[in-house]
Structure 1
């Protein structure tokens, strides 16, 4: 009988942690695992902030005071309710996709008391070279978490670089397992000219006939979208459009400051929740651009690569590792605007280069970053623990 995994993670608001939790638990269930998803859902002042009383309920909600894409503040009763839930569910393994919450630091003691192995997935963004203020702030997060991570049975990180950062901060190497994000290559795949779904037709109609360069992700300071917009404004991009897919705190300001003109097309698409439309957007895109100052391992980058889209990304986090050896174009987190001002006209004038980069990106995903490979590695970790 396959083990019972109690998964602690997020279901909202949407972010990389949410995507990781949904895709991983879905695949584990396909392989016969029983999974219980424990997450922060009910506000602390809600009359409904109680965990389920059903022993076989796969979904348990904990009360919180504040919840955002970045961090979570649990209510005072959350720790007690978590313990009661775990004692009732009796899992074989607790796997916490850490939500940057004070509760994260109490998990080792809690799991030790109920004698259950504890696995953490630790994926805050970082830039190991500390080249900017945002990277310095993220480094403090790593310094804060390192002592607690040393007390988990296993800690999953997404790249060798990330493991090196934690080892320097005192986490033992044998506690760390490098298991990169993976994507379903049968969902995220190059465009099929024989297939014309309604979603694809709707996306193509909205994009029009111009060649598309695209950013997809949160519109927040660490994503450095302003640098891309400045480069786009300063480049000769006639016949092309920059499409911004996503939402976030900086969207109103940037959208107001960077409007389309006759010779500079910028389309603010907004947040897109529909999976098929997101796939179609990338299939219709020639170049995906990720100008982040800090990253973990960008799921949006992997999805773009899987659809055969040429990719440009900074070397923040593990993104540079993914694109190395010709799978994409890697730029430094320093002087992003000036680098893009050089690259954008070159790519515009050389569609064959774009095509070749797209083919190499897809091949890299098939070789190293499929969801199957990721879940295979996770299963191996579980088996070794048990």
Structure 2
């Protein structure tokens, strides 16, 4: 079993946080020793050095700014990271890149320590450059590409993302495609005989209307406003739109779209409640302008919810060939204005889409297959002692 130093995020909640927590939990269940190194300001002016002991699974680094998008570490964070790695002596370092200046310094640090370095690179993108947001995200990829060549391996979530990075100069032999995965036992459809108390409580709060759900950040790149505009235009009878999540646009969107048929659920930290929300939903909609590979989409698929998403990032690839409905990132409101009445009037269609989504998740996107691939990558690097030059 490997000893792994995992550098990632535990807050604020975002896809990176979900990925890091679910992956490290799964690795620990398989017997690996995982030390989670994350940005967390000290509890007191005098830092408690017990957090650096090798038998402590968590190591905290100080920061100046931390958001859902990027992190600015404190001046002493690099020194503390080095000291932590020297104490822990891991077999391998895995960085779920947090869009931080430390991302660019890690290769040199790990090379000096003689430790293989793996990155997971998952900023959202849209290779088609069809909108301003996609163009902005491409700048992130252009900025990171030279640094990624210095990592021993870079994990990406789709062939589309790998091709995109190759065009920016990252060698193909440094890239490994390992899609996101979800626990398909936890994220699963419910049956009348297996309704949990949490499911009943969530259903009671939602009411008896048919539920259309969005779950994610309320930020520009998620394009939630396009969904809300379409909902206001159609106002589907007997249906309710539930918005689960928080972000910089929440207050402005709530003020602009004040409608009794829209429930602003807010951020939901409880995993069982999020599962119940997706189980109660008939349709899940993700109208993003850019994406990586959405965990929320995979979770919706695994629960057997009919899924509608744009072809940003790898999401279109995930739903291709009948596993869901794929929209273009251009004209999302117009497309949803046409689609929402169809989904309202065709419950047989939504049930079939949900069945196919569940099958696709079981075939390609389980956490078990994700960890199998990750373990193989770790074994390849640690057995050969590969360290990038």
TM-score of the pair, normalised by structure 1: 0.97
Contact 1:222–1:294, Cα closer than 8 Å, also in 2: yes
Aligned-pair distance for 1:51? 7.0
In 2, Cα distance between the equivalents of 1:44 and 1:319? Answer: 40
In 1, Cα distance between the equivalents of 2:236 and 2:47? Answer: 53
| Match among 373, 376, 381 for residue 380 of structure 1 | 376
In 2, Cα distance between the equivalents of 1:363 and 1:339? Answer: 26
Once the two structures are superposed, what CA deviation does each residue of 1:279-299 show, in whole Å capped at 9, x if it has no partner? 111111110000000000000
Partner of 1:316: 312
Contact 2:305–2:357, Cα closer than 8 Å, also in 1: yes
Once the two structures are superposed, what CA deviation does each residue of 1:245-291 show, in whole Å capped at 9, x if it has no partner? 11111000000110115xxx111111111111111111111100000
Structure of higher RCO (CA pairs closer than 8 Å, 6+ residues apart): 2
Once the two structures are superposed, what CA deviation does each residue of 1:41-71 show, in whole Å capped at 9, x if it has no partner? 0169944376724232211101111100100
Partner of 2:387: none
Partner of 1:347: 343
Query: What is the SS of the residue equivalent to 2:7?
Result: strand
Aligned-pair distance for 1:198? 2.0
Partner of 1:290: 286
Query: What is the SS of the residue equivalent to 2:62?
Result: strand
Partner of 2:216: 217
Once the two structures are superposed, what CA deviation does each residue of 1:191-211 show, in whole Å capped at 9, x if it has no partner? 121123221111011111111
Contact 1:50–1:63, Cα closer than 8 Å, also in 2: no
Aligned-pair distance for 1:347? 0.8
Alpha-carbon distance change, 51 to 297 in structure 1, aligned in 2, over 3 angstroms: farther
In 1, Cα distance between the equivalents of 2:290 and 2:188? Answer: 27
Partner of 2:121: 122
Partner of 1:19: 18
Contact 1:51–1:62, Cα closer than 8 Å, also in 2: no
Partner of 2:354: 358
Structure 1: gaps (5+ residues): none
Contact 2:7–2:37, Cα closer than 8 Å, also in 1: yes
Q: State the superposition RMSD in angstroms.
A: 1.3
Alpha-carbon distance change, 236 to 256 in structure 1, aligned in 2, over 3 angstroms: closer
In 2, Cα distance between the equivalents of 1:55 and 1:376? Answer: 26
Structure 2: gaps (5+ residues): 383-389
In 1, Cα distance between the equivalents of 2:361 and 2:324? Answer: 12
In 2, Cα distance between the equivalents of 1:44 and 1:102? Answer: 23
TM-score of the pair, normalised by structure 2: 0.96
Query: What is the SS of the residue equivalent to 1:194?
Result: helix
Partner of 1:69: 68
In 1, Cα distance between the equivalents of 2:43 and 2:29? Answer: 34
Contact 2:52–2:59, Cα closer than 8 Å, also in 1: no
Contact 1:214–1:242, Cα closer than 8 Å, also in 2: yes
| Match among 297, 300, 305 for residue 304 of structure 1 | 300
The farther-off stretch of 181-190 and 36-45 is: 36-45
Contact 2:42–2:60, Cα closer than 8 Å, also in 1: no
The farther-off stretch of 161-170 and 35-44 is: 35-44
In 1, Cα distance between the equivalents of 2:190 and 2:254? Answer: 29
Contact 1:5–1:94, Cα closer than 8 Å, also in 2: yes
In 2, Cα distance between the equivalents of 1:324 and 1:109? Answer: 40
After superposition, where does 1:155-166 map in structure 2 within 5 Å?
Answer: 155-166=154-165
Query: What is the SS of the residue equivalent to 1:91?
Result: coil
Query: What is the SS of the residue equivalent to 1:141?
Result: helix
Contact 1:43–1:64, Cα closer than 8 Å, also in 2: no
